[in-house]
Amino acid sequence: MNTGTDRVKRGMAEMQKGGVIMDVVNAEQAKIAEEAGAVAVMALERVPSDIRAAGGVARMADPRIVEEVMNAVTIPVMAKARIGHIVEARVLEAMGVDYLDESEVLTPADEEFHLLKSEFTVPFVCGCRDLGEAARRIGEGASMLRTKGEPGTGNIVEAVRHIRKVNAQVRKLVHMNDDEIMTEAKLLGAPFEVLLQIKKEGRLPVVNFAAGGVATPADAALMMELGADGVFVGSGIFKSDNPAKFARAIVEATTHYQDYKLIAELSKELGEPMKGLEISKIAPESRMQERGW
Amino acid sequence: MTKIGVLGLQGAVREHVRSIEENGAEAVVVKWPEQLEDIDGLILPGGESTTMRRLIDRYGFMEPLRQFGESGRPMFGTCAGLILLASDIVGYDEPHLGLMNIKVERNSFGRQKESFEADLSIKDVAENYNAVFIRAPHIVSAGEGTEVLAECDGRIVAARDRHYLGCSFHPELTDDHRIARYFIDMANEAKASLAKA
């Protein structure tokens, strides 16, 4: 029996496809998420919009919170480690967390190196804004990708930009001649072998979810329409007026993302969604998507 | 041509579609109950069983799925799909569809870091089969008339009860499409005998 193989790690993410992964900060929220049909929960100390508001250094959650969430639900539990923080990642792995997010939402521990994720038994998800970044993370062993978007803003514009960019670059790559790929690798700063594999298979070798700014059922459906395999919702759910109803609506809109009448029904009287942030009002150095490389 | 549906509410739908097509059958992604009418067999894919159950209830799939099974058309559940099919689930008062005469236990090999690949022998399918287990359930006991097809480490991981087939691993995640072949053959046989009846 072999544990921690690429197939087992990537396969875990395949099982999440078409689903919604929700940020939760305690057992009670985790249960609401599971009841609403979330495919997994992300256990955090604070949701991204609160991290943004609090400022200072954001770190791995208190293991007590992670443990509490793991005990509360039977669906998989994810948790975030700081970029490059080997020990936070190992601690979460040792606790039995099902999936780790090497996340720009937390303050990076290393501004130069990301984790060598292939060394871990637990699978990782990482953020990306373009194909170069996606391929570098796959090269390091990420088993799942997500758009970075701009976390905690409730503004979908950056996630849209990122998924369109990655997918356009994949399409371009697939139509290239083999002798053009090394130069593309150089231009993107991407590992050659990963690009070759993407060209051969016609798509990314791991699933790519949407994250960073999903605030409404229509936002979730938009990201599915643009080719996301599933959706992460951070601050959107538990910052809304009626989290249970909101969570169910996001799940259904993700499943039936092209059923516009249904989405209209789901979107009725959901109450106030989280208050959004205009990206240009965030100083470039405060944008979480700029963290990592 | 044989038409095999894949319940498309959530999970590894695309991969099952691929392995059906690799075997020369037609695949249909089933998102609404009406679509069950014109298919010869149905695969319940891997994914999150709690999520699928919520969506099954929401879209009125429960009775149509039970009727589909009771009409004699074959159903194949993989991982989460196996849990949906089972007549008994350890720790739960009620099953989901409850069609297949087996008792299953969820997440019985542990959390994700204990997920694994192993070589199996599957009766009537393959002597050497590389199976991928992800937060997998296992079949605690097979009811009367249920045939055990494969075991791993002393635990039942594949079984057949009449026209119901189930396994706790993910055949759709590898390029070995022999189990899909076996299921398509089941669907063909059922189609022929239902046509005669």
Q: Which CATH number covers residue B26?
A: 3.40.50.880
pLDDT on residue A234: 86
Q: Is A80 a catalytic residue?
A: yes
Candidates A9, A80, A117, A165; catalytic one: A80
Give average pLDDT by consecutive 10-residue segment, chain A, 293 residues: 95 97 96 97 91 89 97 97 98 98 96 97 98 98 97 94 98 97 98 97 97 94 98 89 93 96 94 82 89 88
Helix, strand, or coil (residue A217): helix
**What's the predicted TM-score (pTM) here?**
0.95
**Residue A55 has what pLDDT?**
86
**CB-facing half-sphere around the CA of B175: CA atoms within 13 A:** 0
Average pLDDT of chain B, as a whole number: 96
Torsion sign, CA atoms A218, A73, A100, A49? positive
A99: nearest Cα among A14, A20, A34, A40: A40
- Banded pLDDT at B151 (limits 50, 70, 90): very high
Interchain pair B114, A3: CB under 8 A = yes
- At residue B187, φ and ψ (nearest 5 deg) are -65, -40
Report the C-alpha gap between B108 and B121 in whole angstroms.
Answer: 20
Under DSSP, is residue B170 helix (H, G, I), strand (E, B) or coil?
coil
Count CB atoms within 10 A of the CB of residue B37. 8
Q: What is the pLDDT of residue A229?
A: 98
Taking domain A6-286, whether its CATH number is 2.60.40.420 is answered by no
Mean pLDDT of B54-60: 94
Instruction: Determine whether the interchain pair B115/A12 forms a contact, defined as Cβ–Cβ distance below 8 Å.
Output: yes
- Measured in residues, chain B has a length of 197
Of all residues in chain B, the percent with pLDDT exceeding 90 is: 98
Tell me if A17 and B13 make a contact (CB, 8 A cut-off).
Answer: yes
Provide the domain limits for residue B40: 3-196
Closest Cα of chain A to B185: distance in Å?
26
**In this structure, are strands B3-7 and B138-142 parallel, antiparallel, or unpaired?**
unpaired
From the list B79, B96, B138, B167, the catalytic residue is: B79
Band (pLDDT 50/70/90 cuts) for residue B166 is very high
Q: Per the structure, how many domains does chain B have?
A: 1
The pLDDT tens digits of the residues spanning B75-104 come to 999 999 999 999 999 999 999 999 999 999
The residues spanned by each domain of chain A are: 6-286
Query: The complex's ipTM?
Result: 0.94
What was the pLDDT predicted at A170? 98
